[in-house]
Amino acid sequence: MIKVAFFDTKEYDRASFELCNVQNEMEFKFLETKLTEDTVDLAKDCDVVCVFVNDTVNDKVIDKLYEYGVKMIALRCAGYNNVDLSRAYGKIHVVHVPAYSPYAVAEHAAALLLTSIRRIHKAYNRTRDFNFSLNGLTGFDLQGKTVGVVGTGKIGRIFINICQGFGMNVIAYDKFPAKDSGLHYVSLDELFEKSDIISLHCPLTEETTHLINHESIEKMKKGVVILNTSRGALINAEALLEGIKSRKVGAACLDVYEEEADIFFEDRSGHILNDELLARLISMPNVIVTSHQAFLTKEALTNIAETTIKNIKSFFENDGLCDNELCYRCGNIEHCKKQRKQRCF
């Protein structure tokens, strides 16, 4: 029986994975702790470790997992910037869930946008105190506004469809533009300059780290609304805070944060928040922060569990072959040149 150690698990993870393991083909070991150099020993005697976005899968962790005989790292998410793929190559195979529910993330981005510009969160708090004043709740129409979408993968394209439904003008940037998409691609600088709203839907790479920074904010329209439901490090949080304080940035909606690993997914309501930057952002009246919640729908959780289990079974039943392996050797990580007909190593 395949033994799988799940790190950084919550009740909803456990429920969805147990539901998909009805035939008890695998033995699950659910751990609340994150995978780090200090907790890697908990993976002893396991064939697979299943990790999430804030687990640390660096060179030391990978070396230990290899030493313990772990054969696969199964990411239950799409992003893999927290995994040292070069270190894993030749030792441990890495798989991910490339698309669990792009609608969940795109719809959450739209929900954040609408909540922010129509002051829904403020109205909710007021009416619970029986305050029915409309003062300070004036928003603006989305119709006719220009939205700049950075990243036109599945999530970005669905978000674009939503925006077009509101009658918005869409401009886009992607290092690899989608062919025959009919999208109006522009340079990053032009996107920064012309957008009333900017939404980030791109992966975190060396090139995209701190894509939103002091220089890029300076190029933006006064009052721009910035959305981020992708990866926290796409935004330099200090630059964002300065942009908000200077009134250059009209609003920010963040589902992710660069230093979220030790903060998000936990109840910290009874504690002092040590991250002063995040505390200052949350205190701003034009900032909405959700704690990496965009993926969290029943449909997405089911898809994540089903795809992860399928990835594991495929690997062990097909001589190490899996369609969703992240192949470092090819240099084309998500789209292996071997077309999944050979083992990567």
What span, in angstroms and rounded, lies between the C-alpha atoms of 89 and 324?
15
> Domain coordinates of the chain in residue numbers?
2-100+298-317, 102-289
Which among 189, 102, 192, 106 has a CA at the least distance from the CA of 147? 192
Percent of the chain with pLDDT over 70: 96
Q: Which pLDDT belongs to residue 327? A: 77
For 227-263, b/e burial (b = at least 16 CB within 10 A) is bbbbbbbbbbbebbbebbeeebbbbbbbbbbbebbeb
Query: Are 256 and 292 contacting, i.e. CB atoms less than 8 angstroms apart?
Result: yes
Close Cβ partners of 288 (under 8 Å, ≥ 6 residues apart): 112, 115, 116, 121, 251, 252, 253, 254
List 157, 231, 258, 325, catalytic entry: 231
Q: Which range (64-73, 313-322, 334-343) has the least confidence? A: 334-343
Condensed to tens digits (0 to 9), the pLDDT of residues 20-77 reads: 887 778 999 999 999 999 999 999 999 999 999 999 999 999 999 999 999 999 999 9
For residues 166-187, give the mean pLDDT.
Answer: 96
Residue 331 confidence class, pLDDT cut points 50, 70, 90: low
List 96, 107, 292, 325, catalytic entry: 292
What span, in angstroms and rounded, lies between the C-alpha atoms of 217 and 225?
11
| pLDDT for residue 1 is more than 60 | yes
Which among 323, 140, 298 has a CA at the least distance from the CA of 225? 140
Architecture of domain 2-100+298-317: 3-Layer(aba) Sandwich (3.40)
260 flagged as catalytic: yes
Q: Which pLDDT belongs to residue 33? A: 96
Sequence letter at residue 223: G
Structure tokens belonging to residue 81 = 């910037």
Q: Which pLDDT belongs to residue 113? A: 98
Q: Which pLDDT belongs to residue 234? A: 98
Query: Are 345 and 319 contacting, i.e. CB atoms less than 8 angstroms apart?
Result: no
- Burial (CB < 10 A; 0-12, 13-18, 19+), residue 197, is buried
| pLDDT for residue 337 is more than 60 | no
CATH topology of domain 102-289: Rossmann fold (3.40.50)
2-100+298-317 matches 102-289 in fold: yes
φ/ψ of 173, rounded to 5, equals -135, 135
Query: Are 214 and 79 contacting, i.e. CB atoms less than 8 angstroms apart?
Result: no
End-to-end alpha carbon distance in the chain: 23
Close Cβ partners of 89 (under 8 Å, ≥ 6 residues apart): 328, 329, 344, 345
List 107, 258, 260, 325, catalytic entry: 260
For residues 214-219, give the mean pLDDT.
Answer: 98
340 flagged as catalytic: no
Strand partners, 227: 199, 253
Mean per-residue pLDDT over the chain, rounded: 94
φ/ψ of 235, rounded to 5, equals -120, 130
27 flagged as catalytic: no
Q: Which pLDDT belongs to residue 345? A: 76
Strands in 48-51's sheet, in edge-to-edge order, are: 26-30, 2-6, 48-51, 72-75, 93-95
Q: Which pLDDT belongs to residue 37? A: 97
Condensed to tens digits (0 to 9), the pLDDT of residues 248-276 reads: 999 999 999 999 988 999 999 988 999 99
* Alpha carbons within 13 A on the beta-carbon side of 345: 15
Q: CB atoms < 10 A from the CB of 268, how many?
A: 14
Q: Which pLDDT belongs to residue 330? A: 63
Residue 100 confidence class, pLDDT cut points 50, 70, 90: confident
